[in-house]
A and B are shown apart, each in its own frame.
Chain A
């Protein structure tokens, strides 16, 4: 089992009011699954993604990633886990504007301490995989939205992570480009990669093989 959570809760404190974002989520995701976390805004799907991505810690409940209890890990171990085991794709791409596509893709490998030549070769390979071989030296402001998201996908897969978490990956794209992006995710899932989509869009979630519906911080189906 790659991901296993037991009754996870997350409560935010806004001023003096406690806002429950997750109200007991128990979830299992296997290696190789292509799943979608779906729900309206405020359903807690983004919070759940942050917890699953080890960017945030749950208020209560346990979370095992690859059979390791996340609550026992310190900051540095969590950073290493995010670096090696988890890839992120964001709605707003989050590319560094001053770096070329290739340099952006290299970032996770940089933090993994990979030698320059290996990094460059791997970045080229990844960009070719998402169909941007001829755009490697371009900066983000010279790329279209779809191209930027493809760079972000290449970056997410840089260190061959166990899971890629994609938060509304088509949210900032027109529907035609969105379909292209979903096709890339589809083929990557086909190759055995574990992918978790987070979306409120039924047509996007429809690409996944399993849909997990969230409402009010709980799994409803």
Chain B
């Protein structure tokens, strides 16, 4: 019998057993939906994070009291580590392999107001003019902080686009004075926009000279104090491999901290790759969890399909007997039931793909995250559900095919 006829036959069953077919396919639907939704969200997140990590500059080395990383950090131990100083930054900048160094301190400002407008949770950093290059900042209007500002501790600041939008929607911010934690600072420049990351604006920033920062803003307590320690971003000279530059910085800092050869580093060095590794570790865990969830629900879904197909074979024993009497071969019967199982899981898989893409879209809109389902996930989702249909459908179908026609016809 031809495939078209068999397909029509299996779809016929869905029409007559709508609810039952839907419930049977539900396991597959949930499994495939989960995979598609999670993969497209992770892919979207990868895209955002990759963009973000790349914007750090592939060559930048970050030197702080602790390295970025996964796992538990011993905060008590870290708190005992010596703080970085401006002298450390200077020494690093004088290494023959290092081109530019931008030391910076940072803290969060709860609120900045201008007339009746306000912005909250602003990232404020104190740094040097080198930050423009090392931190990948471009000035849109006005100017960046300069060495004169640093030297004379000028109370000037450069602000991000988010702050401009919220505080100065109808006027130029240049020449205005903002009150930062009780101190008055003159706006001298506006930074080009970096956009948002995971729904968080990257343009909610204020940059001031590091010398002014040290004079005007006391460190916070606890974690704030820790973050108050200078973090140094350094760029190796052109043509110098980043590993070589890292080695030099490490050696220098160990010497400056007078560490014995058997003592571990009391500082941390990170690069773009370290951050990327951390991120990859996180997504790997997410993928493993996803695969487990998908495998379990496909297994449960497959068992559901096998169960319902066994019921269908029992229910339709007389039909099978009749079909054989009318000339159906064992293969015809096998294909009829196998195709029914495959169609059941395939339709479930297709619904799962659609729902998964829908969920990803909803999350995309809610979290301002670009979700993207690569074609392979859809193919894998549909392919796996078809596989489940074949695997769990073959036993009931072969049982149907082997039925003795006379006994089947007599079956009540």
User: Interface residues, chain A, CB within 8 Å of chain B?
Assistant: 50, 53, 55-56, 75-76, 79-80, 82-84, 88, 90, 94, 96, 98, 107-108, 110-113, 155, 159
Query: Which B222-279 residues sit within 8 Å CB-CB of chain A?
Result: none
Which of the listed residues A50, A79, A112, A155 has the most CB atoms from chain B within 10 Å of its own CB?
Answer: A79
The answer to whether residues A75 and B327 also contact, given A55-B406, A90-B409, A110-B1 and a CB cut-off of 8 A, is: no
Contact residue among B2, B16, B325, B330 (Cβ-Cβ distance under 8 Å from A88): B325
B328 at the binding interface (Cβ < 8 Å): yes
Write the chain B residue with the least CB distance to A94: B322
B364 at the binding interface (Cβ < 8 Å): no
Are the CB atoms of A94 and B327 closer together than 8 Å? no
Are the CB atoms of B409 and A75 closer together than 8 Å? no
Are the CB atoms of A75 and B16 closer together than 8 Å? no
Contact residue among A76, A90, A98 (Cβ-Cβ distance under 8 Å from B329): A76
Are the CB atoms of A55 and B325 closer together than 8 Å? yes
B12 at the binding interface (Cβ < 8 Å): yes
Contact residue among A75, A82, A98 (Cβ-Cβ distance under 8 Å from B326): A82
B323 at the binding interface (Cβ < 8 Å): yes
Are the CB atoms of B406 and A88 closer together than 8 Å? no
The answer to whether residues A111 and B330 also contact, given A50-B406, A56-B406 and a CB cut-off of 8 A, is: no
Report Cα–Cα, A186/B406, bound state, in Å. 27
Query: Which B316-370 residues sit within 8 Å CB-CB of chain A?
Result: 318-319, 322-332
Task: Provide the main secondary structure of the chain A interface.
Answer: helix
Min CB–CB distance B306 → chain A (angstroms): 23
Write the chain B residue with the least CB distance to A156: B326
Write the chain B residue with the least CB distance to A165: B325
Min CB–CB distance A16 → chain B (angstroms): 19
Write the chain B residue with the least CB distance to A46: B406
Min CB–CB distance B408 → chain A (angstroms): 10
Contact residue among B1, B318, B405, B406 (Cβ-Cβ distance under 8 Å from A111): B1
User: Interface residues, chain B, CB within 8 Å of chain A?
Assistant: 1-2, 5, 12, 16, 318-319, 322-332, 405-406, 409
The answer to whether residues A75 and B330 also contact, given A55-B406, A98-B16, A111-B1 and a CB cut-off of 8 A, is: yes
Min CB–CB distance B16 → chain A (angstroms): 6
Report Cα–Cα, A80/B332, bound state, in Å. 12
Report Cα–Cα, A155/B405, bound state, in Å. 18
Min CB–CB distance B9 → chain A (angstroms): 9
Min CB–CB distance B264 → chain A (angstroms): 76
Are the CB atoms of B330 and A96 closer together than 8 Å? no
Write the chain A residue with the least CB distance to B9: A110
Report Cα–Cα, A55/B16, bound state, in Å. 30
Min CB–CB distance A101 → chain B (angstroms): 15
Residues of chain A with a CB closer than 8 A to B325's CB: 53, 55, 82, 88, 94
The answer to whether residues A84 and B327 also contact, given A110-B1, A111-B1, A113-B2 and a CB cut-off of 8 A, is: yes
Report Cα–Cα, A83/B327, bound state, in Å. 4
Are the CB atoms of A112 and B327 closer together than 8 Å? yes
Are the CB atoms of A94 and B409 closer together than 8 Å? yes
Min CB–CB distance B321 → chain A (angstroms): 8
Write the chain A residue with the least CB distance to B2: A113
Report Cα–Cα, A111/B330, bound state, in Å. 12
Contact residue among B1, B5, B318, B405 (Cβ-Cβ distance under 8 Å from A55): B405
Which of the listed residues A83, A110, A155 has the most CB atoms from chain B within 10 Å of its own CB?
Answer: A110
Write the chain A residue with the least CB distance to B410: A46
Residues of chain B with a CB closer than 8 A to A56's CB: 406
Write the chain B residue with the least CB distance to A53: B325
A–B pairs, 27, beta carbons within 8 Å: A50-B406, A53-B325, A55-B325, A76-B330, A76-B331, A79-B324, A79-B329, A79-B330, A80-B327, A82-B324, A82-B326, A82-B327, A90-B409, A94-B318, A94-B322, A94-B325, A96-B319, A98-B16, A107-B323, A107-B326, A108-B327, A110-B5, A111-B1, A111-B329, A112-B327, A113-B2, A159-B327
Are the CB atoms of B328 and A111 closer together than 8 Å? yes
The answer to whether residues A98 and B2 also contact, given A108-B327, A155-B326 and a CB cut-off of 8 A, is: no
Residues of chain B with a CB closer than 8 A to A79's CB: 324, 327-330, 332
Report Cα–Cα, A111/B1, bound state, in Å. 5
Residues of chain B with a CB closer than 8 A to A94's CB: 318, 322, 325, 409
Residues of chain A with a CB closer than 8 A to B322's CB: 94, 96
Write the chain B residue with the least CB distance to A115: B2
Min CB–CB distance A85 → chain B (angstroms): 9
Report Cα–Cα, A84/B328, bound state, in Å. 11
Residues of chain A with a CB closer than 8 A to B405's CB: 55
Report Cα–Cα, A19/B327, bound state, in Å. 29
